[in-house]
Structure 1
Amino acid sequence: MAGVRIGVVLPPFGADAGREVAAAARHAERRGLDSVWTGDHLVAVRPKLDATMVLTAAAAATERIRVGFGVLVLALRPVAWAAKQVATLQHLSGGRVVLGVGVGGDVHGDIGWHAAGVPFAERGPRTDAALEVLPGLVRGEPTVLDDRKVTLEPGAPLPPVLVGGGRAALRRALRFGHGWYPAFTDEAVIADGARRLAERAAELDRPAPEVTAGVVAVLGDVPRERIEAEARSLAGYGMSEDEALRTLLTGGPAAAADRITALAAAGATEVVALCRGDDWFHQVELLAETRRLLTTA
C-alpha cells in the first residue's frame, strides 16, 4: 500500500501561534507525513486563524511537506485576492500548495457570510464563477473580470484543485478540479463517488479526479466514551452517531492501517486526518507509524 499518502490537519493554535504552527508543521514533516492542512472560515464554530497565513507559516518552517487548504471557502473573498494569495503561497512554498476549495459547511451558519457581505444563498454559484477564472488569475494570464482584462503578476503554477464536499461536489470536481475531497464519510460513499467520477471522466475524455478522504482520527488507547463523544460531534454534518462511528479512524497503527487500506481500496489516494486525541503531537507519531506499516505492507 505504498501509493496512499497520509496528511494531517494542523491543530488549533493559541497565543503563541507563530511558533506553534512552525513546530507542528516541522513535527509532521520529520515524522514522514506527506501533507499538512488547515481549514478556513471567517466565523467558524471554533476560533480559527486565517488559512493562508497559517499555511505560509507552515511552509516557511518546512522544506518537503505539502501545505493544503482543507478547504478554502473561495466565495467569501474577491477571487482576485484569493488568486493573488494562492500564487504568492506557491512561490513562498516552492510549489507545495494543494488547493482544496469548498462552499462552507452549514454547521458554521451564515454569520461569516454576512460579515463578508456575501449572500449565503449565493455561495454555490459564486464558487462556480470564481473557479472559472481562478486558474488564469493564479497563472498570471490575462483574465476577464467584470468585462475588463486583469493580469496578476507574478503568476505561479496552478496547484492541484480539490473540490470539497459530498456527492453534490462531484459535478464541481469534474468541471473544475483535479480531485474530490469528501470529509467524514465511509468507504461506500467514497467508492460510489470514485466510480461516478471515473465513468463521467471517461465520457469527457479527461483523467479521473483523484480522491482525498478526510477523516476524524482518535488514535491510541482511547476510552470508548471519548470515541462516542467524537462521533456525536459529527452530527452537525448530517449523519447519525452510528454512521459517524463508522467514519472515525481509531485504534492503534495496525487498526488505522487496515482502515486506510479499505479507504484506498474504495478509491482514495490520500487520507487526511483531523486528530482529536488529547496530544496532537502523539497522534501524529501514531499516524507516522501507520504510514510506515502501509509502506512496508
Structure 2
Amino acid sequence: MNHNTNTRARLLISCLDQPGIVSAVSTFLHQYKANIVQSDQYSTDPSGGMFFMRIEFDLFEDGYEFSLIRTAFTDVAKSFNMDWRMELASRRKKMAIFVSKEDHCLFELLWKWRAKEIDVEIPLVISNHPNLKEQVEAYGLTFIHIPVTKSTKKEAEQKAVELLHEHNIDFIVLARYMQILSPDFVGTFPKRIINIHHSFLPAFIGANPYAKAFERGVKLIGATAHYVTNDLDEGPIIEQDILRVNHRYTTEQLKVAGRNVERIALARAVTWHINDQIIVHGNKTVVF
C-alpha cells in the first residue's frame, strides 16, 4: 500500500484510566478506514490512575476528510471525558523564536531548520537586542527588534503578542531570551512556550552560575528544556541532558560545555513538540 504523508495523522489522548478506551479508539479509526501505524500508551496506575495515548494513523479512503474525522471523534472523547487533540502530520507548525544576545541555541535551531531536520515555518525571530539581525536575515528570515526596558515592558510584550497573532504562530521558543515574561503573555500561549536554562537551578541562583559551579567543583553540567508557566523556570520539563566535566575545566570551558548541552536539549524538545510527542498533565510531561 502506498503511503502518502498527507494522510498521516496523530491523536493524543489523556483521561482517567478505565476499561474500553483502546477498543473504542481502535473501533472508531477502523470505521473510518484508518490504518494505525504506531500506538503508544502509558497508565500511571491501572486502578483509577491517568491514561495517556498517542496514535499515528493513515487515512486511505479519499471520501473521508480529516476535519470530518476530527469532528466525529468528539463523541468518543466525551464518553471517556478525554483531553485530546488530533493533528495532521503534514501541517507545518509556525514557530517564533525569541532571543537576546547569546546565539548558540538560536543557531542550532536555524541550522536544523535549514537542514530540514525540524520541519516548521519560522515567520519571525524577535529580540530585545539588535545584535543578531544580520545573521538571522542571512537565513532569509524576518528579524524584529523590540527593545525592552522596565518602563516599556508591557508595551513591548503587547507588540510581540500582536505580531504572534498576526502570523498565526503555533508555538514560541525562548532561545536564551533573557526577559521574564508576564503572566498575561504566558497565559496567552499556554503549553506553547518552550524555554531552556542551565540545570544548576536551584543550586546556583543569579548571576555567574558557572563561576559558582567552578568554585564548587561540579562534575556535571546540565540543561533543562521546559514549557513556560508563571512559576519561573518551574514549568513541565520536556527534556534534560548533561555533560560530564572535571577539575581541569576553567569557568570559560564550563560555559562552553553548558552552551553545548543547552543547544542539544532545546533542539530535542522542539523536535518532540513539532512531532506531537508530548502530553502535558499538571506540571509533568509524558513524552512518547
Whether these two folds match at TM > 0.5 is no
Q: Point out the structure with the larger helix share.
A: 1
Greater CA radius of gyration, 1 or 2?
2
Q: Point out the structure with the larger strand share.
A: 2
Q: Could you say which structure has the greater relative contact order, defined with CA pairs below 8 angstroms and 6 or more residues apart?
A: 1
